[in-house]
Structure 1
Amino acid sequence: MRTMSCSGRAGQVIFCLVILKLYCQLTVSQLCPKDESYALLQLKDGFEYDESASLDCSPPYPRMASWKSRTDCCSWDGVACHGVTGHVIALDLSCSGLRGNLSSNSCLFHLSHLRRLNLAFNYFNRSSIPPEFGMFSSLTHLNLSSTWFSGQVPTEISHLSKLISLDLSLNEPLILEAPAMKMIVQNLTQPRIMWIARHLPVSNWSSSLEQLNLGSTSFSGGLPDIIGNLDSIKVLDLANCAFYGSVPASLGNLQQLNQLDLSYNNWTGQIPDVFGNLSKLNSLSLQNGNFSGMLPSSVFNLTELLRLDLSQNQLEGTLPDYICGLDNVTYLDLSYNLLSGTIPSCLFGLPSVVRFKFNNNHLTGELGDHWSKSLLEIRLESNKINGRIPPSISGLVNLTNFDVSSNNLSGIVDLNLFSNMKNLWGLDLSHNSLSVVTNNIRNSTWPQFYKLALSSCNIIEFPDFLKIQNQLNFLSLSHNRIHGEIPKWLSAKGMQSLQYLDLSHNFLTIVNELPPSLQYLDLTSNLLQQPFPILPQSMYILLIANNKLTGEIPPWICNITTFQIINLSNNSLSSNIPQCLGNFSTELSVLNLRSNSFHGTIPGSFTEGNKVRSLDLNGNELEGSLPLSLANCKMLEVLDLGNNYINDSFPLWLQTLPKLQVLVLRSNRLHGSIGNPTVISPFSSLRIIDLSHESL
């Protein structure tokens, strides 16, 4: 055997060191070629920096600010170079606040060695995507999402034979034609091509495709069976498109699939029962897909599922007991369907479940005694669940939202059950047969509610713990037995955020000051016997029907210009109707002053473009003629002026109202003809007309 001497070994080491030194010198000398550095600086000069060009970034980062002449471009922000040749191979200018045009003669296209290019979240003035992008023969990743390009995606993009990831999302509208579309489905493994209008191709899909995200696009048509040949697909997102027809059973072949989202489309028929072989599936979203028929049983065998959403369909049937095998599921939503039968008690104890939504079905049974400690949200409202609310619910200290309203629950509920749930922002026990105890509050550190609804809970007084609420936005205590006045503390500093207040169907007699941010107020069917209450300026909806309010509608109501609905019917209000009610709010759609004692004339101030859909002044003491300005109410569907003292000829001009369906003028003093032979289709939408007790 030959041996190498020490001197020979030393010489070899020296030789290697010399070669390494020359290599390093060569590497340094070839970094950042001058022509590419110059091209980058020219690219920089072609744009202005504007933070608003990257609004979706928080915050935008001006990468080009570090680009200076006579410095190594490979050290600039967003630039990466090849370690040996020095060529620029990657450019990341995402969220850089760039505003300007990217034209075909841009110096960007001089960077011919690019492999990765990211221009996402900049503003290129709705210009077309330059066809010169097809010159980047080495490009593997191209991200042009949210760049405000428009028009047709150039066919030259099909020349990018090495491209595996293309993101054109959030550019509306882009049009993708063959052969570019064909290239995408044949070559890419991670395409995202949102907002591109086209049917999916029916052949030549790449078996190496790993991710296909077409979410929120205008893709339409049927889903081709060949999609079942995507052997490598892991993520398939077709949500919020315009797909229709049946879902192909070939989806059951996609055994590598991790995530499937077919939600918000217009599918027909049943969900195909083909999921049994998709053992790697961890997320299945089919909500609002127009599916009908029975629940697919194979779904509940997917033990790796983390998320299951079948909500907002017309699914029928019962929940199988083996649904309780979904030990890993964290999000479970089957709400807004037609499910029936007994809800399995084991569901409440699924070990990993965080959000549990079965609301708006026809489920029966009782609430279980054993609850998963991981639960954050429980939605069971609008079912037929009976029995009691178990005391064990108090152990869910992490709960944020609990809604069991509109069921058949019964028994006594002590609100102290919920006092230790520090994160509980939503609680709704309304419309059951419960008796809620509110006057035995032991814990002073109550959760700060955002929504609290205790309607039809046999409550006899305002709960004391409301005094310490300072984040409450929604409060409903309707259909109870609360007497007396609305407490003054309801308008205190802690209630500054309250926007929705429903105290209807109680025995309240006095309204004190109301919270300043209030937008919705319902005091219907109480015993209010006072002048018109002072209202905050933020009101949208005012409902005080069926009380005993007296006096006039004060003129300051004309300063509240946000009203959409006003119902003051069945009170004892009098005086004139304020003239401003015809035009003080451009959003007013419903005005109901029925069964009061108003006199004078109907306001004649209805302006063009108003949105009034229903006007009910029946049962007052109004007189005079009908105001011609009612002809400006082009959205009007219901007009009820019956049982007044209106003295006028029949208002033939009302036939110009295209949406009028109900017209009641009975028991007034109208006269004249009700027909006009020159009009071919008078009152074209009218369904109900009442002219009884008139001299017509």
Structure 2
Amino acid sequence: MASWNEGTDCCSWEGVTCDSSTGRVVGLNLAYNHFNGSTISSAIAKLTDLTRLNLSHTGFSGEIPSEFSHLKKLVSLDLSFNNFTGHIPSSIFNLPNLQWLGCSDNQLVGPIPSEIVHSSLHSVYLNNNFLNGTIPSWLLALPSMDLNSNELSGTMPSYICYLASLLVIDLSNNNLSGSIPECLFNLAELSVLNLRNNNFHGPIPSSMFGNMSKLTHVDLNGNKLGGSLPAQSLATCKMLEVLDVGNNNVDDVFPQWLSNLPSLKVLILGSNSFHGAVTTSNSFSMLQILDLSNNYFNGSLPAGLFHKFPAMKMLKDKSEEVGTEYYIGLVNYKFSFVLTVKGKECVVNKFPSVFTTLDMSNNYFRGEIPDAIGELGSLLFLNLSHNNFVGPIPSSLGNMRELESLDLSSNRLSRKIPSQLTSLTYLSFLNLSRNSLVGPIPQGNQFGTFDAASYAGNEGLCGVPLSKKCGGDDEDGDHDQDSEPELESGGELFSWGFAGAGYGCGLVIGISTAYIMFSTRKPEWLVEIVENWTWRG
């Protein structure tokens, strides 16, 4: 407010907007000033010509003042990211010209007013509060709304199916229950469907997506949904970029038909009951993130599989992508994820488009790891742990120069650790424990930063950082394959207590890692990665 000098025209003050013809103040932006006041002055009711008021990130607390109801010309009101408490005054919803209302990220309680009159509301954002009760019908009639992260309960109202102009449904992180209405296929304009972390149950309706040609984002993670994926209707969603059905009870085979979706970037199937082999005849042309963890997939991995992920091969310029917020679809829907790092929740809302990860851990894959996996040159995180892989670690992994985390633990891998892995100069997390590896541990570059826990349970290994010194007859020999221990997928043979302390959520940047970590069976390898990972600028 340094520019607020009484000797100058107030229309020149920072944060003040005036009407060009009348000279009257019509806009007031006080955001990010951190007033920390317990109340807002009642004198604000005198600003009757005000059309836009932004008080976000100002630190105001107490109840939302009823004086706002006098601002009849108000078109937008932003009270988000403060410490407001109590109920939302129903009079705000009845401002006759109000189109945009932001009350997110406060401590508001109670039900959402059930009726409004004379309002032209278009967009309402009430997320991240403590609102309860059911969802009023008038709110669902808005083209854009955000109710996630509250305490709303009840079932999803069926009348939502008749709101043909609806673009976004975000009801994530509530206590909603019941089945998902099959009539949602009526929402032909819908771009985003986010029902994450509720209590929806039953099968995913088979025809639900059949008319949603503009759908870009489907997030059903963290419910109790069963059955199979609705192949016929989902296959029509050619604009789909994100499909997350993780942490449910879906029982199906690998959906290779999803390769026909040309825009699919994120596919999360983790922690379900998917089973059978993983094969595909077509390429997933845009896929950057694939999570198959904690399922019942089995069989060997064909070398041709890794030819089907071209977006995991292409190296991209990271310097232009760091810190950019990731929007999706026709409505610029902004992702907001929550990840847990050692019991602390961190809100993440950034997703660099260069991020690539492949997680096939905790399954029943067997056979050797194909050399072709080394072709995934842009991959950052690779997790094949807790399977039944045998044979050597492919030396081709040394070609994955962008790799920052490699977890091959709890398998039946044998022979030496390839010296080519020392060329992975960005590698910050390595877990080769609980295998049957032998010989000296390679030295140089990042390998000087890993402690003994990275190699635990490999009795044939020697050299730094282990206490066992190299030398002797079996230093360069390969152990008999028949003597390798039988390890079962998902077993408890490995303790994650070895992991070193991380940096904590303060340094966690917005990556879709959080997207994967909304898991009741939390992938600890990813926790450790996040804690030790800083983006390279």
- The change in CA–CA distance for 1:537 and 1:443 in structure 2 (over 3 A counts) is closer
Matched with 1:68 is 5
- The change in CA–CA distance for 1:128 and 1:456 in structure 2 (over 3 A counts) is closer
Alignment of structure 1 residues 17-96 onto 2, 5 Å: 64-96=1-33
**Counterpart selection for 1:245 from 178, 196, 200:** 178
Question: Is 1:322 the counterpart of 2:301 in the alignment?
Answer: no
**Counterpart selection for 1:213 from 128, 146, 156:** 146
- The change in CA–CA distance for 1:326 and 1:112 in structure 2 (over 3 A counts) is same
| Structure 2 unmatched ranges of 5 or more | 313-355, 469-483, 485-495, 503-537
Matched with 1:431 is 410
Q: Work out the CA distance in 1 between the residues paired with 2:449 and 2:388.
A: 30
Deviation of the 1:410 alpha carbon: 2.7
Question: Is 1:192 the counterpart of 2:125 in the alignment?
Answer: yes
RMSD of aligned alpha carbons = 2.9
- The change in CA–CA distance for 1:485 and 1:473 in structure 2 (over 3 A counts) is closer
Question: Is 1:367 the counterpart of 2:367 in the alignment?
Answer: no
Deviation of the 1:237 alpha carbon: 0.7
Deviation of the 1:470 alpha carbon: 5.9
Deviation of the 1:374 alpha carbon: 1.6
Matched with 2:54 is 118
Deviation of the 1:472 alpha carbon: 4.7
Higher relative contact order (CA 8 A, sep 6+): 2
Matched with 1:448 is 426
- The change in CA–CA distance for 1:114 and 1:402 in structure 2 (over 3 A counts) is same
Question: Is 1:228 the counterpart of 2:161 in the alignment?
Answer: yes
Deviation of the 1:104 alpha carbon: 5.2
The SS at the match of 1:316 is coil
* Higher-Rg member (1/2): 1
**Counterpart selection for 2:37 from 100, 107, 129:** 100
Tell me if structure 2 keeps the 8 A contact 1:215–1:240: yes
Tell me if structure 2 keeps the 8 A contact 1:340–1:362: yes
Matched with 1:151 is 86
- The change in CA–CA distance for 1:363 and 1:187 in structure 2 (over 3 A counts) is farther
Q: Work out the CA distance in 2 between the residues paired with 1:324 and 1:288.
A: 24
Tell me if structure 2 keeps the 8 A contact 1:451–1:475: no
Matched with 1:286 is 220
Deviation of the 1:364 alpha carbon: 2.3
Q: Work out the CA distance in 2 between the residues paired with 1:185 and 1:82.
A: 25
- The change in CA–CA distance for 1:466 and 1:301 in structure 2 (over 3 A counts) is farther
Tell me if structure 1 keeps the 8 A contact 2:56–2:82: yes
Question: Is 1:356 the counterpart of 2:290 in the alignment?
Answer: yes
- The change in CA–CA distance for 1:389 and 1:485 in structure 2 (over 3 A counts) is closer
Matched with 1:378 is 358
Matched with 2:74 is 139
Tell me if structure 2 keeps the 8 A contact 1:132–1:156: no
- The change in CA–CA distance for 1:321 and 1:201 in structure 2 (over 3 A counts) is closer
Aligned AA (1:325): N
Q: Work out the CA distance in 2 between the residues paired with 1:345 and 1:185.
A: 55
Aligned AA (2:96): S
Question: Is 1:478 the counterpart of 2:456 in the alignment?
Answer: yes
- TM-score, length of structure 2 as denominator length: 0.73
Deviation of the 1:176 alpha carbon: 4.3
The SS at the match of 1:345 is coil
- The change in CA–CA distance for 1:184 and 1:311 in structure 2 (over 3 A counts) is farther
The SS at the match of 1:117 is strand
The SS at the match of 2:33 is coil
Deviation of the 1:444 alpha carbon: 5.4
Deviation of the 1:184 alpha carbon: 9.2
**Counterpart selection for 1:391 from 358, 371, 376:** 371
Deviation digits for residues 35-59 of structure 1, max 9, x if unmatched?
A: xxxxxxxxxxxxxxxxxxxxxxxxx
Question: Is 1:161 the counterpart of 2:96 in the alignment?
Answer: yes
Aligned AA (1:353): L
Deviation digits for residues 584-627 of structure 1, max 9, x if unmatched?
A: xxxxxxxxxxxxxxxxxxxxxxxxxxxxxxxxxxxxxxxxxxxx
- The change in CA–CA distance for 1:250 and 1:384 in structure 2 (over 3 A counts) is same
**Counterpart selection for 1:463 from 418, 441, 449:** 441
Deviation digits for residues 128-178 of structure 1, max 9, x if unmatched?
A: 111011111111111101121111212221331211211111111333453
Q: Work out the CA distance in 1 between the residues paired with 2:5 and 2:91.
A: 33
Q: Work out the CA distance in 2 between the residues paired with 1:114 and 1:81.
A: 9
Alignment of structure 1 residues 257-656 onto 2, 5 Å: 257-273=190-206, 274-297=208-231, 298-346=233-281, 349-368=283-302, 369=304, 370-375=307-312, 376-414=356-394, 416-438=395-417, 440-442=418-420, 445-465=423-443, 468-469=446-447, 472=450, 475-482=453-460, 487=465, 520-521=497-498
The SS at the match of 1:198 is strand
Q: Work out the CA distance in 1 between the residues paired with 2:72 and 2:501.
A: 63
- The change in CA–CA distance for 1:186 and 1:115 in structure 2 (over 3 A counts) is closer
- The change in CA–CA distance for 1:96 and 1:198 in structure 2 (over 3 A counts) is same
Q: Work out the CA distance in 2 between the residues paired with 1:537 and 1:357.
A: 25
Q: Work out the CA distance in 2 between the residues paired with 1:264 and 1:471.
A: 38
Q: Which moved more, 1:165-174 or 1:317-326?
A: 317-326
The SS at the match of 1:394 is helix
Question: Is 1:127 the counterpart of 2:65 in the alignment?
Answer: no
Q: Work out the CA distance in 2 between the residues paired with 1:86 and 1:214.
A: 38
Tell me if structure 1 keeps the 8 A contact 2:262–2:285: yes
Aligned AA (2:404): W
Q: Work out the CA distance in 2 between the residues paired with 1:267 and 1:482.
A: 49
Deviation of the 1:93 alpha carbon: 1.2
Tell me if structure 1 keeps the 8 A contact 2:441–2:464: no
Matched with 1:255 is 188
The SS at the match of 1:465 is coil
Tell me if structure 2 keeps the 8 A contact 1:340–1:363: yes
Deviation of the 1:422 alpha carbon: 2.5
Aligned AA (1:68): N
| Structure 1 unmatched ranges of 5 or more | 1-63, 491-505, 507-518, 523-535, 539-696
The SS at the match of 1:132 is helix
Q: Work out the CA distance in 2 between the residues paired with 1:286 and 1:383.
A: 22
- The change in CA–CA distance for 1:300 and 1:311 in structure 2 (over 3 A counts) is farther
- The change in CA–CA distance for 1:537 and 1:111 in structure 2 (over 3 A counts) is closer
Deviation of the 1:206 alpha carbon: 6.5
Deviation of the 1:254 alpha carbon: 1.1
Deviation digits for residues 228-253 of structure 1, max 9, x if unmatched?
A: 12221111111101111112223221
Q: Work out the CA distance in 2 between the residues paired with 1:352 and 1:112.
A: 51
Aligned AA (1:357): D
Q: Work out the CA distance in 2 between the residues paired with 1:147 and 1:394.
A: 48
Tell me if structure 2 keeps the 8 A contact 1:449–1:471: no
- The change in CA–CA distance for 1:140 and 1:290 in structure 2 (over 3 A counts) is same
Identity of aligned residues (%): 30
- The change in CA–CA distance for 1:453 and 1:408 in structure 2 (over 3 A counts) is same
Aligned AA (1:120): S
Q: Work out the CA distance in 1 between the residues paired with 2:442 and 2:117.
A: 63
Deviation of the 1:326 alpha carbon: 1.9
The SS at the match of 1:173 is strand
Deviation of the 1:287 alpha carbon: 0.3
Aligned AA (1:425): E
- The change in CA–CA distance for 1:243 and 1:116 in structure 2 (over 3 A counts) is same
Deviation of the 1:103 alpha carbon: 3.7
Count how many residue pairs are aligned between Structure 1 and Structure 2. Answer: 427
Tell me if structure 1 keeps the 8 A contact 2:96–2:119: no
Q: Work out the CA distance in 1 between the residues paired with 2:281 and 2:77.
A: 48
Matched with 1:14 is none
- TM-score, length of structure 1 as denominator length: 0.57
Q: Work out the CA distance in 2 between the residues paired with 1:204 and 1:146.
A: 24
